[in-house]
A and B are shown apart, each in its own frame.
Chain A
Amino acid sequence: MIRLNATTAGGNDAERETGAERLSRLIGGGWIFLLLFGLIVIFSVMRPQQFGSSYNLTMLAVNAAILLVLSIGQTFVIASAGIDLSVGAVLVFSSVTSAQAMLWLSGTPGGTYGTTDGGWGVICAGLAVALVSGAGWGALNGILVAYARIPALIVTLGSLGMALGFAQILTGGVDVRAVPELLVSEIGAGTIAGVPFLVVIAAVVTIVAAIVLHLTRFGLHVFAVGSNAEASRRSGIRLRTRIVQIYVLSGALAGLAAMMSIARFSTTTIGGHAMDNLSTISAVVLGGTSLFGGIGSIAGTVIGVFIPIVLLNGFVILGIPPFWQTVAMGAVLILAVWIDQLKRRARERG
C-alpha cells in the first residue's frame, strides 16, 4: 500500500529533490503526451492538406477505436500486475460466435455483397453473444490465475491458442460469410453528429473506464492488488474475486471490440488480430502504466494507443519505406519503458 501514497509523499519532499530527479519526474509525467503532440505537429506541418485533413483525422480516430477498447481492458489487467495475451484471440472467437449467431437468426441476404437483412434485435443478440463469449474467456483466465495460481503469462498464452483454435473449429477456418447490413452501415460506417459511431463507442468506454479506475473502490483495489497482492489481501480485499473480475472485464471488452470489428470490416477476420496483444501491451506501457502493477492511467493508455497509429499514418503519407515504421515503434517502446524506470527510481528516492 506504500506506493499508493508515494505521489503525495513525493510532493512533500519536492523542495529537497535535485535537478536531475525533478527532470525525470517531469518527463515521466507528461513526456509521452508531448511526443504524441510533437508527432502530430511534425506531420501536420509537413503535409497540411493530407495529414491535417478532417478525413485523415477521422480515419485516425476510427483506426484507434477498436485497439483502444482492447487496451482499456489491458490497462486494468496490467495495473493489477497481471497480463492478458489472449485479447486478440478472444476478439476473434467472440466475433465468430457473434457473427454465426447473427447469421443463424437473420434470414435473407441484404442489399450488398456479404450482408444479411438482420435487424436491431438480431444485432443486440449478436452483441450479447460477443460480450458473453468474451467474458467467458476472461472468467476462465481469471479463475486459473486466481485459484489455480498459474502465472498470468502462461494462462493467457494458453487461452490465446484455445480461443483461436475454437474459432477455427467453429468456422473451418473460413470467415463467417455474411453479417447484418444494418450493423455495417449504421455502426461500422455510420456517424453521430459527424463523429463515427465506433469512435463514440470507444470514447464512452474510455470515460466510464477512467471513472471506474480512478474514482471508485474497485479501481483503488486494482491498484492495491497490483502494488502488493499479499498486503491488499491482509487489509481485507477479496483478492481472488477482484482478480477474476479484472480478467472478466478485459474479456468482455474484447467481446465488445469483436462486435466493433465485425461492424467495421463486415467480416470476422480470423486471420487477423495476431499482434493485438502486443499492440495493447505496448500502448498501455507507453501510456505510463507499470508492467509491475500498481501505477497506471486511462489517459496515458489513450495516448499510447494513438502514437503507433499516428506514426504509421504519417509514415505512409510521407512515403517513408514501410520497414522504418517498425524500427521507430520499437525504439519508442524501449524509450518509454526506460523512462518508466527513471520515474520509479525518482519516486523511490522521494
Chain B
Amino acid sequence: MTKKYLLFMSAALTASFCAGSGNAAEKSVALVLGVKGSPFYQALACGAKAKAKELGLELTVSAPDQFAADSQVPVVNAVTATGPAVAAIVPTDMQALIAPMKQLSDRGTKVITIDQTIGDSSFVQTQILTDNEAGGKLAGDAMNTLLGGKGKVLVITQPPGSAAQDARTTGFEEELKKYPGIEYLGPQYQSDDPQKAAEIITSTLSAHPDLAGVFSTNDQGAIGAITGLKQAGAAGKVKVVAYDAATAEVNAFKNGTIHALIAQNPKQEGEVAMEAAAKLISGGLLDKTTLTEIVTIKAGDTAAAEKYEYKGDCE
C-alpha cells in the first residue's frame, strides 16, 4: 500500500508541474452556465469562447448538474476561490444566488448576470438578458397571423416560479387580449418534461377537438407538443408557435409541424458578455442592463431557422 501511495503522490506532483501555474491573471474570466448539456447554454459558451479568444481573455467555463440553486452554489463558490477578474453567471435562482454572488463581488471580482436575473442587482455590473415579455408578445402576434384571427389557443409552460417563463406567458396573454376572435384556454404546466407535454396535448384535444393553436414557452414543451399532435394525428393542422430554436425544434419547423419560432441568440449573449468583461477589465463602465436580440422566424424561412439554431458547435 505504502509503495502504491508513494507512486500516486509522485504522479500527482508530476501532473502538477506539467499543468503549470494557474494564478488568477488580470484577464481571467469565469463563465458559470445554468446547467450542463443544454444546447442553449452550449451555444452561449461557444459565442463566449470565440469572443474571449478574439479579445485575449482567459475564459474558464463551468456548469452545475441541474438548473437549481443547490447544485449551482458550490460551483459559484469554487469560482470564487479562483478569484477571476470578471465572472459572468447565469443565476438559477433569484434569491438563493444573492449571497454567494455578493461574496464573489466582495472578494474583488466584477460580476455580470446573463440570461437570468437576480433579486438584488446592486453589486451586479450589468445584466445581459432578452426581453421575455416582448418575446411572448411576438409569439401572440405570430399566433394571430397563423390562425387568421380566430380559434382556440393553449399555452404549455413551466410551473410558476421561473421569471423568464412567466414573463413569456404574460406577454403572450397580454397580446391575445388585442385579438377578440381568439379563445384562450389558459396555461398547462410541464417541468421540462416532453412526456408530460404530450399528455397535455392529447387530453386537450379530447376536450377541445377544434384546438387551433399551441404556444410552448420552451423547447421541451414544444418537442412534447408535436409528439402529442402526431400521436393524435393533428400535426400540421394545429398551429404551433414555440419559444427557442433548439435543433429538434428547427427540424420540426422544417417539417412543417412547428409554424413559427421565437428565437433568442445565445451566441450573441455569450459575445456580449465577453465584450462587457473586456470593458470592465480595462476600467470602463456599463449600462445596468444590456438587451440582446430576439426574433420571430416565420413559416418557410428555413435560412433564418438554420442561422438561429442553438448549436454548441465548438470545442
Contact = CB atoms under 8 A, between A and B. Distances in A.
B15 A265 contact: no
A216 interface: no
B81 A63 contact: no
A50 B161 contact: no
Contact of A175 (B8, B65, B161): B161
A272 B68 CA distance: 5
Nearest to A114: B95
Contacts of B1: 23, 26-27
B78 A316 contact: yes
Contacts, number: 146
A270 B16 contact: no
A168 B161 CA distance: 11
B12 A38 contact: yes
A195 to B, nearest CB: 16
Interface string A55-66: 110010011001
B63 interface: yes
Contact of A113 (B63, B66, B82, B98): B98
A47 interface: yes
A321 B62 CA distance: 7
Contacts of A265: 69-70, 73, 93, 95-96, 99
A274 B161 contact: no
Contacts of A50: 22, 24, 81-83
A232 B110 CA distance: 61
A125 interface: no
A137 B47 CA distance: 47
B81 to A, nearest CB: 4
A51 B69 CA distance: 22
B157 to A, nearest CB: 11
A322 B74 contact: no
B122 to A, nearest CB: 9
B68 A56 contact: no
B73 A63 contact: yes
B74 A309 contact: yes
Given A46-B22, A173-B159, A272 B66 contact: yes
B236 interface: no
Interface string B8-35: 1100110110010011100000000100
A45 B62 contact: no
Contact of A173 (B23, B60, B160): B160
Given A38-B12, A50-B22, A322 B69 contact: no
B81 A45 contact: no
A337 interface: no
A313 B60 contact: no
Interface residues of A, number: 57
B66 A274 contact: yes
A51 B80 CA distance: 10
Residue from A34, A42, A63, A271 having most chain B Cβ neighbours under 10 A: A271
B174 interface: no
B71 interface: yes
A323 interface: yes
Contacts of B75: 312, 316
A255 to B, nearest CB: 16
Contacts of A321: 61
B237 interface: no
Interface of B: 1, 5, 8-9, 12-13, 15-16, 19, 22-24, 33, 36-37, 60-71, 73-75, 77-83, 93, 95-96, 98-99, 107, 119-120, 159-161, 189
27 contacts: A46-B16, A49-B23, A50-B22, A59-B77, A62-B77, A168-B159, A174-B160, A175-B93, A188-B99, A189-B99, A265-B70, A265-B96, A267-B95, A271-B68, A271-B69, A273-B70, A275-B71, A313-B74, A314-B78, A316-B78, A316-B79, A318-B22, A319-B62, A321-B61, A322-B63, A323-B37, A326-B36
Given A59-B77, A316-B82, 16 more contacts: A23-B1, A26-B1, A34-B5, A45-B12, A45-B16, A46-B19, A59-B81, A112-B120, A172-B160, A265-B69, A267-B95, A272-B93, A275-B65, A312-B78, A319-B60, A321-B61
